[in-house]
């Protein structure tokens, strides 16, 4: 990060970067406002996979990749779901950034043909933290983002509405948290791939025009539910030769259940023995979980259970019978006749 000594360094502890040519300053502040945003940014794993892939496929000359984030906004603009993304070609030279705007618009149109309810919610770049040129990019995306709110793009709201008529309906809510700037540390600077999200706000000093843009880190969560359904193993191993079948999934789920139950049992025992202080909330939850198991008379359960087993076996038998019939018809080449 090319940090230059800068005049509007408001907070001594924060890293202040100023770019003279742009008459803007970027302040990457440790967050305090993050909590006030509420809801936060929820990133789907596909977005991060896209970022990784486009980083691998970046052109030889570029050191990082930037792109557009697509998604939806809910909860009055407090909750931002980032569901999709695409890379946008760009050129970067000392202090200036040029983005292929046509590409961005074309790609946006194409995406919205398939997912019309997804709009631009921000942009991403690889690397750690906010960099010098990012203010310009952020301003551009503030214009591209429909419903970008008070903090980000007051000044550019007028031309913003004209620039993206197609997307105007997509994200109707006014939101102060748009656009989002997502950084993914593909360089693994801290030994891990950090994903963070920022929003910006204009810095005002008294009466004068804004002197800079302040980037504030907001809460950023990766919603793993989707990936978990597919199997995290499948998405993290370099090579999987066999897709996980039903039996394997069941086995792993049962063993997970077992470990969760034994953890709960161990906890209860520890509390009973006085080794761990009792926690009322946890106790209530446990009691609820135990209560949710239906208690039924043995006979009722027995008959219901047997009925279910019989049903399943019956269907299984019928299916086998059908298959046998068809196999016979096939081998005898009698498909012309009713089976």
Give residues 290-329 in contact with other proteins (rule: CB under 8 A). 298, 301-302, 305, 308-309, 311-313, 315-316, 318-320, 322-323, 326-327, 329
Q: Which is nearer to other proteins, 113 or 291 (CB)?
A: 113
- Give the one residue of 86, 124, 141, 198 binding other proteins; rule: CB under 8 A: 86
Cα 10 from chain centroid (whole Å):
32
* Cα distance between residue 275 and residue 267, in whole Å: 9
Distance CA 150, CA 105 (A): 24
Which of 30, 35, 188, 289 touches other proteins (CB under 8 A)?
Answer: 188
Residue in 8, 14, 53, 98 binding other proteins, rule: CB under 8 A: 53
Phi/psi at 175 (nearest 5 deg)?
Answer: -140, 135
> DSSP secondary-structure letter at 30?
P
Alpha carbon of residue 182 to chain centroid: 10
Q: For the stretch 115-125, what's the b/e string if a residue is b when 16 or more beta carbons lie within 10 angstroms of its beta carbon? A: eeebbbbbbbb
Tell me whether residue 29 or residue 137 sits nearer to other proteins (CB atom). Answer: 137
Does 41 engage in binding with other proteins (CB under 8 A)? no
C-alpha count within 13 angstroms, C-beta hemisphere, residue 266:
6
How many chain residues touch other proteins (CB under 8 A)? Answer: 94
Cα–Cα distance for residue pair 278/285, rounded to 1 Å: 13
| Nearest distance in Å: CB 67, other proteins | 8
Contact set for other proteins, span 219-278 (CB under 8 A) = 222, 224-232, 234-241, 243-247, 249-250, 252-254, 256-257, 259-260, 263
Tell me the C-alpha distance between 26 and 257, whole Å.
49
Whether 87 contacts 50, CB under 8 Å:
yes
CA distance 247 to 71: 35
Residues 120 and 156 sit within 8 Å (Cβ to Cβ): no
- Choose which of 113, 165, 273, 277 interacts with other proteins (CB under 8 A): 113
Place of tokens 């809910």: 74
In the bound state with other proteins, the residue whose beta carbon lies nearer, of 69 and 153, is: 69
Q: Which is nearer to other proteins, 29 or 227 (CB)?
A: 227
Q: Which residues of 192-205 are buried (b: 16+ CB within 10 A; e: fewer)?
A: eebbbbbbbbbeee
In the list 3, 30, 36, 110, the residue contacting other proteins (rule: CB under 8 A) is: 110
User: Which residue in the set 177, 186, 200, 213 belongs to the binding site for other proteins (CB under 8 A)?
Assistant: 186
Answer yes or no whether residue 167 interacts with other proteins by CB under 8 A. Answer: no
Smallest distance from the beta carbon of 160 to other proteins, in angstroms? 23
- Give 23 or 301: the residue with its C-beta nearer to other proteins: 301
From the CB of 108, what's the least distance to other proteins, in Å? 10
299, 292 contact by CB (below 8 A): no
If the CB atoms of residues 25 and 68 are measured against other proteins, the closer one turns out to be 68
> At its nearest, how many Å lie between other proteins and the CB of residue 10?
32
Considering the complex, what minimum distance in angstroms separates the CB of residue 183 from other proteins? 13
CB of 19 to other proteins, least distance (A): 27
In 3D, which of 81, 46, 86 has the Cα closest to residue 235? 46
In the complex with other proteins, the residue whose CB is nearer, 127 or 212, is 127
For 32-95, where are the alpha helices, taking DSSP H only?
34-37, 45-56
Q: Which is nearer to other proteins, 37 or 68 (CB)?
A: 68
């Amino acid at each position: 990060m090319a940090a230059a000594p800068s005049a509007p360094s408001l907070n001594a502890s924060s890293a202040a970067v100023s770019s003279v040519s742009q008459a803007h300053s970027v302040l990457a502040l440790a967050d305090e406002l993050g909590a006030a945003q509420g809801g936060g940014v929820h990133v789907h794993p596909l977005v991060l996979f896209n970022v990784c892939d486009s980083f691998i496929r970046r052109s030889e000359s570029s050191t990082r990749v930037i792109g557009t984030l697509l998604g939806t906004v809910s909860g009055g603009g407090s909750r931002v779901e980032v569901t999709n993304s695409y890379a946008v070609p760009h050129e970067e030279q000392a202090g200036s950034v040029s983005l292929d705007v046509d590409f961005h618009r074309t790609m946006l149109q194409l995406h919205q043909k398939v997912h019309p309810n997804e709009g631009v919610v921000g942009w991403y770049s690889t690397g750690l933290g906010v960099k010098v040129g990012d203010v310009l990019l952020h301003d551009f995306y503030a214009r591209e983002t429909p419903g970008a709110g008070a903090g980000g793009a007051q000044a550019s709201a007028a031309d913003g509405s004209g620039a993206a008529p197609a997307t105007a309906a997509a994200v109707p809510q006014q939101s102060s948290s748009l656009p989002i700037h997502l950084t993914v540390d593909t360089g693994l600077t801290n030994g891990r791939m950090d994903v963070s999200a920022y929003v910006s706000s204009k810095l005002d000093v008294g009466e004068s025009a804004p002197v800079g843009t302040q980037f504030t880190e907001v809460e950023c969560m990766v919603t793993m539910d989707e990936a978990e359904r597919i199997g995290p193993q499948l998405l993290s191993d370099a090579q999987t030769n066999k897709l996980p079948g039903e039996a394997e999934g069941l086995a792993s789920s049962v063993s997970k259940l077992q470990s969760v139950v034994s953890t709960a049992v161990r906890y209860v025992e520890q509390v009973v023995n006085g080794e761990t202080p009792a926690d009322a909330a946890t106790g209530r939850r446990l009691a609820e979980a135990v209560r949710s198991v239906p208690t039924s008379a043995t006979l009722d359960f027995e008959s219901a259970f047997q009925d279910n087993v019989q049903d399943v076996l019956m269907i299984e038998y019928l299916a086998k019978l059908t298959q046998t019939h068809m196999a016979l018809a096939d081998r005898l080449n009698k498909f012309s006749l009713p089976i």
